[in-house]
Amino acid sequence: MGQALPYVNNLQIKSIEKGKPKMNNKELQITATKVRKGIVEAVHSAKSGHPGGSLSAADMFTYLYFEEMNIDPKNPKDPNRDRFVLSKGHTAPGLYSTLANRGFFPVEDLKTLRKLGSYLQGHPCMTETPGVDMSTGSLGQGVSAAVGMALAAKLNGDSYRVYALTGDGEIQEGQIWEAFMFAGAKGIDNLTVVIDNNGLQIDGKIDDVCSPYPIDKKLEAFNFNTICIDGHDFDQIRDAFAKAKECKGKPTAIIMKTTKGKGVSYMENQAGWHGKAPSDEEYEQAMKELDEQLAKYEAEV
């Protein structure tokens, strides 16, 4: 079966001056590859779960937790921390792997995903998992909770920011648009919603099933500061969050074009890998590919 993951996160997070990048792009790529390995490890061990959308958002997860957000793994309930709501809760393996690599809990525990007695439930559970700010899983509900958190900061005069990640299929849910309408109407500018536009949902292409396009124009009409990026390009991700912070009086939506299953060749752009675990053989291949990518990035540093 699968090889053991290193227990301790060996990434060195440089403490540097405020406002300057904590990691360069190469370091982010290395971290994101480790996050991807954790996703494959967890889903393979669970024999079920959602690798496709976890992998498409792995670069975003990495950027948020290693670069963007003000969080402390040692103090996951810090009232002043930035909040993250994984509205597309089925991609919990992506969040868990990121939290583990960031030091919220042991990377080794990723292998307990979805198992009886594990604190890593099939979908995020804030009462069980350190670092999870909101329980989610039923699509369409997370953005509303994120709006509530952002509103609480406004009411209290707190400076923390709130981030939410949705799927592109998920925005077929009506409640999402209730939340978008409210956030836009009230100008909740401490909220950034990221939409993972990997183009696929369970039944196929999102535009074949029930097209949500044009996502950017719709959000613009809902009074969002709308930014379209390549969700695998760290320069663009960095730039988008900088613009989100600068924007006053409007919430920001980052619509990121991504590849579902990114990083594992046979999963890429395949709707079938939305919610399926790799076999032992497929697992070996995925880990080999990710290890090769990791070695390549590490050689480049």
148 binds other proteins (CB under 8 A): yes
270 binds other proteins (CB under 8 A): no
Cβ at position 141, least distance to other proteins in Å: 5
The stretch among 27-35, 147-155, 204-212, 235-243 that binds other proteins (CB under 8 A) is 147-155
Closest by CA to 201, choosing from 230, 232, 172, 233, is: 172
Contact pick of 1, 116, 155, 301 for other proteins (by CB under 8 A): 155
Cβ at position 177, least distance to other proteins in Å: 9
For residue 89, give the amino acid letter: G
Binding mask 100-139 for other proteins (x = CB under 8 A): -------------------------xxx-----xxxxxx-
287 and 296 in contact (C-beta within 8 Å)?
no
Binding mask 15-54 for other proteins (x = CB under 8 A): ----------------------------------------
CB atoms within 10 A of CB 238: 17
162 or 294: CB nearest other proteins? 162
Contact pick of 60, 179, 219, 287 for other proteins (by CB under 8 A): 179
Q: Report how far apart, in Å, the C-alpha atoms of 103 and of each of 45, 130, 234 are.
A: 20, 10, 22
Contact pick of 147, 237, 277, 294 for other proteins (by CB under 8 A): 147
Contact pick of 57, 85, 86, 267 for other proteins (by CB under 8 A): 85
Q: What percentage of the chain's residues is helix, strand, coil (to nearest 5)?
A: 45, 10, 40
Strand partners, 194: 165, 254
Q: For helices 25-46 and 92-102, give the axis angle rounded to 10 degrees.
A: 120
136 and 123 in contact (C-beta within 8 Å)?
yes
99 binds other proteins (CB under 8 A): no
32 and 64 in contact (C-beta within 8 Å)?
no
Burial 16-42 (b: 16+ CB within 10 A, else e): eeeeeeebeeebbbbbbbbbbbbbbbb
Cβ at position 2, least distance to other proteins in Å: 30
The stretch among 103-111, 152-160, 208-216, 292-300 that binds other proteins (CB under 8 A) is 152-160
Contact pick of 28, 57, 58, 145 for other proteins (by CB under 8 A): 145
| Separate counts of helices (H) and strands (E) for the chain | 10, 7
Cβ at position 218, least distance to other proteins in Å: 16
Cα Rg, the chain, nearest whole Å: 18
Query: What residue ranges bind other proteins (CB under 8 A)?
Result: 79, 83, 85, 125-127, 133-138, 140-153, 155-156, 174-175, 178-179, 181-182, 185
